[in-house]
Amino acid sequence: MFRRIEPQHDTITIYIDDKPCMATAGEAVANVLLNAGFSAVHTAPNGTPRGPYCMMGVCFDCMITLADGRVEQACQTYAEDGLRLYLPMSRADKAVS
């Protein structure tokens, strides 16, 4: 679905739900999620899956939780080496299990 126009430089590792994922330094985390196959990151109150949509900070459908507990928009958070983030959808699934 997504492909890079230019080759990657400065490849780093971020952790999505404690699983390593390759990214480019400074890339929007929403891009990383979509490239890694995560089309949904949380569930709306009506139960529908939601994920990165507008890619500019307007829709709030790409909310993630960072390791320090902050809840941020993935499209407004930039990848840096060692970044750890958690998807609300996977945390909720674990809580129900």
pLDDT tens-digit series, residues 46-68: 889 999 999 999 999 999 999 99
The rounded Cα 25 to chain-centroid distance in angstroms is 14
pLDDT at 95: 43
pLDDT at 16: 96
Distance in angstroms (rounded) separating the CA atoms of residues 49 and 8: 30
Rounded average pLDDT over 78-90: 90
Rounded average pLDDT over 18-44: 93
- Whether residue 50 is contained in a domain is answered as yes
Task: Output the domain CATH number for residue 42.
Answer: 3.10.20.440
Q: How do beta strands 19-24 and 42-43 pair?
A: unpaired
Residue 51, domain extent: 11-96
Distance in angstroms (rounded) separating the CA atoms of residues 34 and 25: 16
- pTM of structure: 0.82
